[in-house]
Amino acid sequence: MPRDKPMSDSSPGLFRRLLSGVWNLISWIRTSIANLLFVAILVLIVITLLPQEAPQLAEKGALRLAPSGVLVDQRSYIEPLQQLLGDSQRLDSETLVRDLVNAINYAAKDKRITTLVLELDHLAGGGISKLEEIGIALTTFKATGKSIIAVSDSYSQEQYYLASYANEIYLHPMGTVALTGYGAYRNYFKSALEKLAVNFHVFRVGQYKDFVEPYTRNGMSDASREHNTQWLNELKTRLEMRRDLIAKIGADKEGNNYQAVSFKDYLTLIESKKAHHKDQVGLLVAQGTIIDGEQPSGNIGGDTLA
């Protein structure tokens, strides 16, 4: 009688087929993921390269000036992949001073722009020279008779420097204004003068002259308490700010916010229609540390700048 094949003869073939099937499945999954990733990157590139819809400007509205990060004369270098992927944290970490100044100067002559709104929550600073340059443009804007409104939950010293150019300043009731001053601290000698028996005399006119009260009183006067209470109580919540801006400027299409265009969209719109002149001035920006050789934006490369 013919003998049956042992079980060990059929097991290796079945095991190999099982391993082959698992490996084929893994290969298919790997290939599918790679293809999907490639298609996603391709779609992202196509979307990035497609022409963006041109911003629209209402007949009447405000210019929303909302600088973010640090004010700079030249942006730092960002890797192309980060730009492609839209790394918003890196892209919003710097704001070009020239962009702000150009937008303000254009808006000063634009009849469609009735108001300039400074939204300063995300401004991190940038140095007194850059703030002053923007301040000069704001002064020119205000000289046309148009108003400037500053809004923020809280104000740092740099933020309040720009807000000081506004006709109105809005602050949240729970907000703060952190002013340390640009001058030096002085020494005070009241205790020393008392020990030396030196008398001093203060002359003042008016009811609300409380500058010298720390030298003449041990507590706040009624007049001082009155006027300090008045400005401390003029604070507005975000909802109240938005309602006031809608009342002053007008509502957008949705009716949830005031009618405005961001300074970036406004620049895109203006620059696309601006006529180019033959005679122009070239501007070379040298920002950052001076280093030998070729260097990207944000540093001063000796060979690059030369």
Residue where the block lists tokens 């469609």: 112
**Cβ neighbours around 4 below 10 Å, total:** 7
pLDDT of residue 54: 61
Could you read off the pLDDT of 114-140 as tens digits, one per residue? 999 999 999 998 888 899 999 999 999
Task: State yes or no: pLDDT of 8 exceeds 90.
Answer: no
Q: Does the pTM exceed 0.85?
A: no
Q: Lowest-pLDDT range, 6-15, 132-141, 161-170, 243-252?
A: 6-15
Could you read off the pLDDT of 149-181 as tens digits, one per residue? 999 999 999 999 999 999 999 999 888 888 876
Nearest to 167 by CA among 259, 67, 249, 252: 249
Task: State yes or no: pLDDT of 187 exceeds 70.
Answer: no
Contact 97, 126 (CB under 8 A): yes
DSSP strands (E only) in the chain: 61-65, 69-72, 94-96, 113-119, 123-125, 147-152, 168-171, 260-262, 290-291, 300-301
Average pLDDT for residues 225-251, to the nearest whole number? 83
pLDDT of residue 116: 96
